[in-house]
Every structure is written in C-alpha cells, then in structure tokens.
Amino acid sequence: MPPQAPMQYEWRVTDADEPSLVRLAQRLALKIAVGDVVALYGDLGAGKTTFARALIRAVLGDPQAEIPSPTFSLVQTYVAERLELAHLDLYRLSGEDELIELGLDEQLSIGAAIIEWPERAPGLRVPNRLDIHLSQGAEPDQRTLILSGTGTWTARLARLAAMSDFLAQSPPWNCAETSYLQGDASARAYARLARDGKTAILMDQPRQPDGAPIRGGLPYSRIAQLAEDVRAFVAVASALKETGLSAPEIYSIDLGRGFLALEDFGDRVFGREVASGTSQEELWRAATDALLVLSTLPVPEAIALPDGTVHRIPAQDGTVLGIEVELLPDWYWRAIHGAPIPAEPRQEFMAVWEGVFARLASEPKGWVLRDFHSPNLVWLPHRDSYRRAGLLDFQDALVGSSAYDLVSLLQDARVDVPAALEDKLLTYYIRMRKAADSTFDREAFRFAYAALGVQRNTKILGIFARLAMRDGKHTYLRHIPRIWSYVARGLAHPELAGLARWFDRYLPAEVRLTPPDLSRLEATPS
C-alpha cells in the first residue's frame, strides 16, 4: 500500500502590503518551534527576504536587529532566548549534499530554519514544515501569500489563521505589533499587542483537555475541574471586577475559538519585583488584603457569559483534591524511583488523605482562585490598597476553603517566603477575619491552612515531575527543594500526624533531598 500524503492546511492571504507582511511574520513567530522549517518560495523581488527578516526580528524580540542576507554565506545563524534560528539562501547551492555541510540537521535539533529558494533542495524532507509562496498582489507594493503546513504545522497554521481573523475583528488591535510572551505551565499562549502607545495581552487558549482519559472516560483536567477553554476566565474576571479587585478588563472576546484581548498589567510580576528589591512584605500584604476582600464576597450560583450561556463555579471537593494528590504517586514517585509505586503505599496514601478531606468538607466555603501566587500577581503601585495586586490566571476558580489561596501565596512555589513572613501574614489574616466575623474559627482555619498547604505542595511535586516527564519541561525541577520545605511546615500540624508518618516512612528526608533522575523523565506512568 503506498504511503499516504501528509495532512496539510492551506491559508491564503491576499494583497498584503509591507506592514501587513511584518505583522504576519510577527504572529508566525509566536508559533515557531524547534525542528521547524519555514520554506519561502517566490521570484526575485517577491518579498522573501523582507518576510524572513521580519520573522527573525520577531523571534529575537528586536525590531532593529541587523539581518544580513545569506546570499553569499548561504547561512546566517541567530540565537534567541526561545530557540536558535538559521536563515539559509539556497540560490547558490551546488547540490543537496551541501546541506549536510551547512549543518541543517544539527540546526533543526536545537532550533528552526528559514529557507529561501527551497526548490534548490527538492529532496529536503522534515516532519514539521511551513511552505509560504509569495507572489505579486493587485498593486505593485502588495503581495499574495499561500501558506501550507504539514506535520504539527497543520494545526498551528489553522490556529494562526484563526488568530489573525480574531484580531481583524478586534480594532485597534488588528494593526498592532505582536511580540511573544513567555507562557505558564499550561497549554495557554500569550502575546503582547502594541499600537499607538497602547498595549493589550492576547490570550490564545483553544479548547482542549489536559491529556488522555485516565478514569471513567475523563481526562485529568475534567476530574480536577480545570478550565478547558476561555469561558471560565471571562466569567470569573467579570465577577472579580464587579467587586473592585484588580482583574484585567477584557477588550475583545471569541468564546468559540478561544481568543481574548485583555488589559495589559505590565511585567511587574511579584517574583520579578522581589528580585529587583521591592519589599516582599509590602507585596505579599497587598495580596493578603485582596484575599481578605475576596473572603467577604459570595460566590454566584451562575455567572452570565456574552453568548447567553452561564458558567457555574465547581466545588473543590474530595474528588478534586484527591485526583491532585494522586499526581505524587503517579508521577513524582516514578521520577524518584524509576518504577510505579507499589499498591500498599499507594492505598495507605489515599486512605490517610480521605480522612483529611472529610474534615475539610465541613469547613466554610467561598472563592478559591486556585493559583494565587507570584507568577500570577502583578504589582500595580499606582493603585490603592488591595487593588495594587493585579490578578491573573484565575480561570480554574472553585468553591472551597479560603485557606487554599492564602497558603498558595504564603508558600509560593516559585519564590522563597521566609517562615517568619508566612507566620506574620497568616496571623494578620486570621486576626482580620475574626474582627470582621466573630464566628470565624481560628483553629479550624489553621488546620485547613496546614492540610491544604500539604495537599497543594504534594500536587505541585507531581505536576513538576509530570511537566518534565510528559512535556519535557525540566526547568520546574529546580523548585522542588523549596516545595519539600513547605510540605515539612504543613506536616508539623499535630492533626496531620498520620500524613506525616506516611511521608516519613515512604519519602523520608534523604529521599526528599534526592533530585529526580533526568534519565527517567521520558517514561510515562502506566
């Protein structure tokens, strides 16, 4: 049986002038990845080099970068923060064997290649390729482009076309410059839009589950009640903004395709502010004050969306908490031991957690934004009081214990929070809650704080192992010693003695100090 031709996606852009070509190149730069070949076809003067330069400058993040033509050198290389780029001009190529001498295979193992005159190497085959044919448009200064993608470029090009259509319907951002922003640990992607001195953030989140079904036909994201599209973000943002909390304004919405244009809070995220010398106590106290305000707000039964539907905030129940702690035996254990966890310690682990979850179920419930920590908090010093804490990444919000967000903040996974500062702000929070509500139970809250701190940090250990093993993202592993220190803080609570005994028996101190073996991180739990 003859091999099937690879699936392709084709997108036609007609009569684009030079600024439009540059904007297209900037958007394409958001999607380029290691192993890609971007092949530029067209006659002399068609605009191949203009497009290549715009694409390289966008990846470099430097609109003024000098990009010499590789006509005589055949190849020019560039090192960007995200990946390396090779710019090749094959017009003078003497034969396809010369590609080996140019080091194309090696380049594609660490970066991407932009190739002009690719027809000079008809035998070049790569899994993920984007072909762009440029030709004369209706006017002398216009070009028509036909873009076709194979491999993973099939989906990426379709997404790029959808993004461009969304922006075309979202003035003034239709003519905005676009620059890449580093995303988070999720599948969401972000970019900064800039036009006439104003900026916005483009959120790109196509609807998709987090992985394959794992239980009852459901993926992890569905069991853990993680948002699988932008609908939850839109709903929660509207609810938070109504109360005066600093959630971003949403300028433009496409619920169906998963695009949002958002207010740009800037780059002063809490972790960066601490590193630059801003008082950590001032930052963390402003965020604590925001949580105190949040604790007074009822959770709506349903939040209306622009399309006439509603979003209901899920409960942070034992099912959600349980599937999260399972990440430790499913992923972290394997990363440490190189083998699945035996049945007995796994059963003991889940049994002791069930008792903790039963106790937590009786606690008062309110808003849980869920990822309330330094990467998702932006310092807005020009605002007042709790509004100085700009809120991001709250689409996974739940109804649960308010202790969860507080421990997320005071035991930050990415930034060291000294135990003295944690205790000071925890005491402050409890005092303010008690002053506002005489029925507030201090000791019950301290238990919930300790228990949910261990629960969250247990989950994070598993997530960081999963990011490394499943997604090849190893940078998060450097945070593991900090996470274990937080686990130890929580396990010191006397009512978590049973949980502490499990950790001491199966993951004692010497094991906690053992970093995951990177040689085992390609395996996937069965």
pLDDT greater than 50 at residue 1: no
Cα dihedral 167/233/159/169 (nearest 10)? -20
Give 160-179 as a DSSP string: HHHHHHHHHTSTTGGG-EEE
pLDDT band of residue 355 (cuts 50, 70, 90) is very high
pLDDT value at residue 212: 82
CB 179 within 8 A of CB 61: yes
Report pLDDT digits (tens) over 6-51: 578 999 999 999 999 999 999 999 999 999 999 999 999 899 999 9
pLDDT band of residue 377 (cuts 50, 70, 90) is very high
Report pLDDT digits (tens) over 242-271: 889 999 999 999 999 999 999 999 999 999
pLDDT value at residue 192: 97
Nearest to 393, CA basis, from 411, 407, 405, 380: 405
pLDDT value at residue 521: 61
pLDDT value at residue 186: 64
**Chain centroid to CA 451: how far?**
26
Report pLDDT digits (tens) over 384-416: 999 999 999 999 999 999 999 999 999 999 999
Nearest to 280, CA basis, from 460, 427, 409, 386: 409
d(CA 503, CA 114): 51
pLDDT value at residue 375: 94
pLDDT band of residue 220 (cuts 50, 70, 90) is confident
CB 87 within 8 A of CB 56: yes
Average pLDDT, the chain: 93
**Structure-block tokens of residue 346:** 């796994």
- Give all strands (DSSP E) within 17-80, no chain letters: 37-41, 75-79
Q: What is the pTM of this model?
A: 0.91
- Give all strands (DSSP E) within 151-299, no chain letters: 177-181, 189-195, 198-204, 213-215, 218-219, 250-254, 259-263
Beta strands 111-116 and 37-41, pairing class: parallel
Report pLDDT digits (tens) over 105-132: 889 999 999 999 999 998 888 999 999 9
d(CA 279, CA 256): 42
**Chain centroid to CA 145: how far?**
31
DSSP code, position 341: P
pLDDT value at residue 419: 95
3-state helix, strand, coil in the chain (%, to 5): 45, 20, 35
Q: pLDDT > 90: what percent of the chain?
A: 81
Cα dihedral 487/492/494/496 (nearest 10)? 10
User: Who's near 497: CB < 8 A, 6+ residues apart?
Assistant: none
Q: Token match 């003034």: residue?
A: 172
Report pLDDT digits (tens) over 333-348: 999 988 999 999 999 9
pLDDT value at residue 40: 97
d(CA 96, CA 287): 59
pLDDT greater than 90 at residue 430: yes
